[in-house]
Amino acid sequence: MPIVVNKYLIGRHFVGIAFWPFIVIKNHHLKNDEIFINHEKIHLKQQLELLVIPFYFIYLLEYIIRLFQYKNSQEAYRNISFEREAYEMEAELSYLKHRKLWSFIKYL
């Protein structure tokens, strides 16, 4: 999993993104943040099991649904099933070794 540094990522809260097969980060120091990198690796696994393109479609669709539900963009983002799994499990650095296929579904 290659990590790419791009200081021009848009948005003040946007510091990184998993974009199969890369993790793109805004600041070089994030390479050493194991929890942040694990969060992004969880997204790479989600993308892989959904064959990449459907992941982005489902992610966007769920974000739109959550935006109507919560009427707040940050709350909508945090309640996307993919994000809920990644945030809940990011500190468990061995999570991907035992993660079951399509685990994000239980966060819907």
pLDDT of residue 54: 98
Predicted confidence (pLDDT) per residue in 57-76, tens digit: 999 999 999 999 999 999 99
The b/e string for 27-38 (b: 16+ C-beta within 10 A; e otherwise) is: eeebeeeeebbb
What is the pTM assigned to this prediction?
A: 0.95
Q: Is the pLDDT of residue 10 over 90?
A: no
pLDDT of residue 43: 98
pLDDT of residue 62: 98
The residue ranges of every structural domain in the chain are 3-107
3-state percent helix, strand, coil for the chain, nearest multiple of 5: 60, 10, 30
